[in-house]
Structure 1
Amino acid sequence: MTFLTRREQFNAAHRMYRQDLTEEENFRLFGKCANPNYHGHNYDLFVTVKGEVDHERPCIMDLKELKVIINDHVIEKLDHRNLNLDVDFMAGKMASTELLCIEIFKQLKGPIEAYAGVCLHSVRLAETENNSTECFG
């Protein structure tokens, strides 16, 4: 089994908060991430696919096609958007990096696996250079 990873980037704003809590309780729980005016990140997205390669099929998949899938199903929906307000697949969900990573995996699984012989292995989302999360589905 061979693995191939594509990196993409996007910028997005979000706010961590629970509507059932007061502003003070949200701030105690989420710190400055509970800012009512939101805050943003420059995210790095790593999408890893897996498949078999041999002389007949020397590549897992065309990287240009992988880029198109990622851009059409994820980047276009997230880049320069508010995760809490603008993104259909995040509606009603906490805009944490972990939940966003899971939802990105769900968005990509079908389109990537429609490509013959390719499986989506993982999605890793880095919120900062020090913090990232990874989903294996």
Structure 2
Amino acid sequence: MKAYLSRRYHFSASHRLNSPAYAEERNREVYGKCNNPHGHGHNYTVEVTVSGRVDPVTGMVCNLADLDAFAQKNLLERFDHTNLNELECFAYRVSTTENLSIEVYRIFAGFPGAHLERIHIEETGNNSFDYAGDG
């Protein structure tokens, strides 16, 4: 029997939406205020959903302490209070939350304790993004 577990994590980060493929004026047209040369910040909420069989001994899909430790090391320590544009993963990609969702999915796909189903990221009260892999 398969069960699902969703866990939320929070971090703050800044970014500037700017594509090297566009001239300065086109970047302003496409990204608007998000193209501010000084950047802007968000308080992101990341929801990770994993699945698996419920262990008959523990009664859990996975150990929450293991998931939290993985998130602390691989998500929070890496992204919290950073400028996303300065991270290697955004060296050649625009730091949109769509691309952030893909990167966070890639990170949690490496969690050995359960199967990753999807990533949900809330950027603002009005904007949220989901990524469930290429398959």
TM-score for the superposition, normalised by structure 2: 0.92
Q: 2:109 corresponds to which residue?
A: 109
Q: Unaligned regions of 5+ residues in structure 1, if any?
A: none
Alignment of 1:130 with 2:131, yes or no, is no
User: C-alpha offsets along residues 34-55 of structure 1, whole Å, 9 cap, x if unaligned?
Assistant: 1111000000000111011153
- Listed as ranges, the matches of 1:1-137 within 5 Å are 1-53=2-54, 55-85=56-86, 87-110=87-110, 112=111, 114-115=112-113, 118-137=114-133
Shift >4 Å, 4+ stretches:
none
For 1:91 and 1:22, locate their aligned partners in 2 and report how far apart those are by CA, in whole Å: 18
Shift of 1:23: 2.1
Matched position secondary structure for 2:94: coil
Aligned 8 A contact 1:12 1:83 in 2: yes
Q: How many residues align?
A: 132
Aligned 8 A contact 2:4 2:49 in 1: yes
For 2:47 and 2:21, locate their aligned partners in 1 and report how far apart those are by CA, in whole Å: 34
Identity rate, percent: 36
User: C-alpha offsets along residues 62-111 of structure 1, whole Å, 9 cap, x if unaligned?
Assistant: 111111111111111100000001x222221110000110011101111x
